[in-house]
Amino acid sequence: MYNDLFSIGPFTVHTYGLMIAIGIIAAYVVAERRAKKQGLDSEKIFDLVIWCLIFGFAGSKILYCLTILPQIMKDPMIIIRNFGDGWVVYGGIIGGILGAWLFCRKYKLEPWKYFDLALPSVALAQAIGRIGCFFAGCCYGVETKSNYGITFHSSDFAPNNVSLVPTQLISSGLDFLLFVFLIWFHKRKKADGQVTALYLILYSGGRFILEYFRGDLIRGTVGALSTSQFISIFMFAAGIILFVVRGRSKKTEAVHNEDKKE
C-alpha cells in the first residue's frame, strides 16, 4: 500500500499519521460546532481535545505494553526501540474518557453532556484513522478466498501477496455509521449519558465480532478471546448499565421536579 505518502529531504509523511491527524482535526471541528449549537462552552473544546489526546495516547501505549509484557520483562529497552509502534485502540478510548472526566472535574463542567458531545467525534476520528491503517497494512484480516479480499504487495505489517479480509475498511465503515447514528440519536436521547452508553454498546459489540476476522495475533489473548474481545465484554456491559441508569435518573429527576411544582 502507500504508507509513505511523500518525502521532503529526510522528512517522510506517512499516510497512517496523516489520516490520524485528519481524524483528530475533523473530530475537533465537529465537536466545536455542535457545542455551539447545544449551548455548551465551545471555547473549552480545544483544551478538552488536548487532554483526551494526551490521556488517550498514554492509555493506548500502556495497554499495548501490557499485551507484550513477557517480551518487555525479557528486554525492557523494547519500549524505547519501538516507541513509535504499538497502540491499542481500547487503551486510547479508556484513557481518553479518563482525560475527559478529569477535565470536566477541573473546570466544573457537566461530564455527561460533554461525553455525549465528544463520543460521536471519537467515532469519526476512528473511522478516518482506520483508513490510515488500511494504507499502512496494519490491523489486517485473516486470509480469505472470497472476492472481497485485498492483497498487499509491499506492506511492513500485513502478509504480502496473500488475499486478506479488509478488516480496516470494514472497521472504518462501521465507525462512520456509528458516527452518523450517534449524531441522529443525540437529538432523541432521554437523558445525558445515553449517547456515551450507545457508543460503548455498539462499538464494543461490533469490535467483538470483527476480532474473529483479524489476523494480527500479536495483540495478545485472554484465554480463547483476543485482548480486545475480552475488554469488549466489559465495555458492552458497562454501556448497557449506563444506558439504563442514566434513563432512570432522568425519570427520578422529572418526578422530583413535579413534586416541587405541587
Q: Residue 189 has what DSSP assignment?
A: -
Q: How far is CA 85 from CA 78, 79, 93, 126, 138, in A?
A: 10, 9, 18, 17, 11
Spell out the alpha helix ranges (H) of the chain: 15-37, 45-67, 69-74, 78-81, 89-106, 111-136, 167-186, 194-210, 227-261
Does residue 133 lie in a domain region? yes
Does residue 199 lie in a domain region? no
One digit per residue, the tens of pLDDT, for the chain of length 262 reads 667 776 777 777 788 889 999 999 999 999 999 999 999 999 999 999 999 999 999 999 888 888 778 888 888 877 777 666 667 889 999 999 999 999 999 999 999 999 999 999 999 999 999 999 999 898 999 999 999 999 999 888 899 999 999 999 999 999 999 999 999 999 999 999 999 999 999 999 999 999 999 998 666 788 889 989 999 999 999 999 999 999 988 665 543 444 444 4
Q: List the grid coordinates of 24.
A: 483528530
Does residue 122 lie in a domain region? yes
- Categorise residue 139: left if φ over 0, alpha if ψ from -120 to 50, beta otherwise: left
Number of structural domains in the chain:
1
Which residues span the domain enclosing 39? 4-186
Does residue 223 lie in a domain region? no
- pTM of the entire predicted model: 0.89
pLDDT of residue 59: 93
Nearest-angstrom CA–CA distance, 58 and 94: 10
pLDDT of residue 85: 67
Does residue 216 lie in a domain region? no
Does residue 196 lie in a domain region? no
Does residue 244 lie in a domain region? no
pLDDT of residue 258: 44
Spell out the alpha helix ranges (H) of 109-166: 111-136
Residue 91 · residue 81 · CB < 8 Å: no
Does residue 219 lie in a domain region? no
pLDDT of residue 73: 85
Please name the residues in contact with 182: beta carbons below 8 A apart, sequence gap of 6 or more: 119, 120, 123, 195, 198, 199
